[in-house]
Structure 1
Amino acid sequence: MQRFSSSQEVLDHIVVSVVQMVPGAEDATITVAEQRRTARSAAASSDRARLFDVLQSQTRQGPCLDALFDQETVRVADLATDERWPELSARVAELGARSMVCFQLFVTGTTLGSLDVLATGPAAFDEESERVGLLISSHAAVALAGAQELEGVHSALSNRDVIGQAKGILMERFKITADEAFALLVTASQHTNRKVHTVAAELAMTGALKR
């Protein structure tokens, strides 16, 4: 999988690749959950896929949620007749989604993600669909972790640059050392209950140091 500069780019690429590569796939979504049995769509190949996540969140049940919380892979031959999710099954006709296969994609702290593949016909997915989907999921999880790490590095470098600018302003204004300037930023951060980076960014932008 190619290199990406943000985690959202990775997620968007995953759903497009899944539709192209998984046998039987017509739509795909990445479902993210941060609380038990609630979910949202982090990326989707279509409105139908995105709305499916909305229905799952509203009914608090569905194959994607099971993949997230209970097991790694869930395959559904026909959503309209499957008795595991009665409330969801009663509403999927609105979307025209009939069959699905869902894979647990990642677990990060309290946040879980699943890769979900949809089709409009029943029994659209087989063992080959699962095999390809699992392969994509494993590569996607690695790519996503790499993009998140890169975002963290970029954020840290940005924070360091802003703090450096703020220190320079204080050093020039008060004729003090770099350590003394940083101490002023820390004191302002504590007194205003804000992060040092936020205080530094405000100082760099407005020239004001709220203490």
Structure 2
Amino acid sequence: MSTLLPDASGAEKSLAATLADLARDLQREQVPDDVMVHSVHSAVALVPGAQEASISLVRSRRHVLSAAVTSDVARGFDAVQGELGEGPCLAAIASEPVVRADDLAGDPRWPRLGARAGELGVRSMLCFQLFVHENTLGALNLLSAEASAFDEEAETVGAMVAAHAAVALAGAQKFDHLRTALANRDVIGQAKGILMERFKVDADRAFDLLTRASQDRNVKLHRLAVELTRTGSLER
């Protein structure tokens, strides 16, 4: 049985179904980079007025990194905001969940950005805060070459896309960390097996040998294990 309201219009039902499909598609992605690429292209396809999009990661509230973009225009605009230390993206990341700029050329909030935005052909922008994690923050940015390209509908749809992207990205990051942990555990097990065979010791003793070598050389345990499994030896 459908969970949609019986008086919802055909357009609303279609949008709800599309967003549900997007949520399922994003949840299937298991790599954070794939989630972000899927999200920016979906945002352009779904949000009225959006022509380009990016997901920006900001460290120390100033250094902007384009994690996913739909074009070089979006990438260049992220770089300009990082260079100037101002712009809708940084505002969304730092303090406001949603930031809209109807005409960057004359927006008093970011006086230095207007001319540079014009050079890149960007007039309007709509930004959504995605997450805040330790010293890294993230935002979904939508851009248009037209002034006043985004309205209330765009904010509503964009917020839903951003919410789905944030949830999927959080899940993918956890999966990525788990996958890394499992891979590290597997390679450490292989290294232990090599030492057990070579020195005729049990698993506990092999792990002690690996740990001591890691401490003596000031090298992380899993990196040392990778070296041992790849070369068959540990350099002194």
TM bracket (short chain): over 0.9
1:176-195 alignment to 2 at 5 Å? Answer: 176-195=201-220
> What amino acid sits opposite 1:196 in the alignment?
L
**Where do 4+ consecutive residues of structure 1 move more than 3 Å?**
none
Say if 2:157 is the partner of 1:125.
no
What residue is the counterpart of 2:52 in the other structure?
Answer: 27
Q: Deviations over 1:157-207 (max 9, x none)?
A: 111111111101100110000000000110011111111101111011111
Q: CA deviation at 1:210?
A: 3.5
In 2, Cα distance between the equivalents of 1:140 and 1:31?
13
- Could you tell me whether the CA contact under 8 Å between 2:61 and 2:137 is conserved in 1? no
Q: Deviations over 1:88-124 (max 9, x none)?
A: 1121111110001100011111110000000100000
- Which residue of 67, 70, 79 maps to 2:95? 70
In 1, Cα distance between the equivalents of 2:164 and 2:39?
10
In 1, Cα distance between the equivalents of 2:81 and 2:214?
42
- Could you tell me whether the CA contact under 8 Å between 1:188 and 1:210 is conserved in 2? no
Superposition CA RMSD, Å: 0.9
In 1, Cα distance between the equivalents of 2:49 and 2:225?
53
What residue is the counterpart of 1:93 in the other structure?
Answer: 118
> What amino acid sits opposite 2:83 in the alignment?
Q
In 1, Cα distance between the equivalents of 2:61 and 2:128?
17
What residue is the counterpart of 2:221 in the other structure?
Answer: 196
> What amino acid sits opposite 2:112 in the alignment?
E
Q: CA deviation at 1:37?
A: 2.1
Q: CA deviation at 1:208?
A: 1.1
The count of aligned residue pairs is 211
- Could you tell me whether the CA contact under 8 Å between 1:33 and 1:39 is conserved in 2? yes
Say if 2:67 is the partner of 1:46.
no
In 1, Cα distance between the equivalents of 2:97 and 2:103?
19
> What amino acid sits opposite 1:105 in the alignment?
L
User: What TM-score comes out, normalization by structure 1 length?
Assistant: 0.98
Say if 2:190 is the partner of 1:165.
yes
Say if 2:47 is the partner of 1:56.
no
- Which residue of 138, 162, 165 maps to 2:163? 138
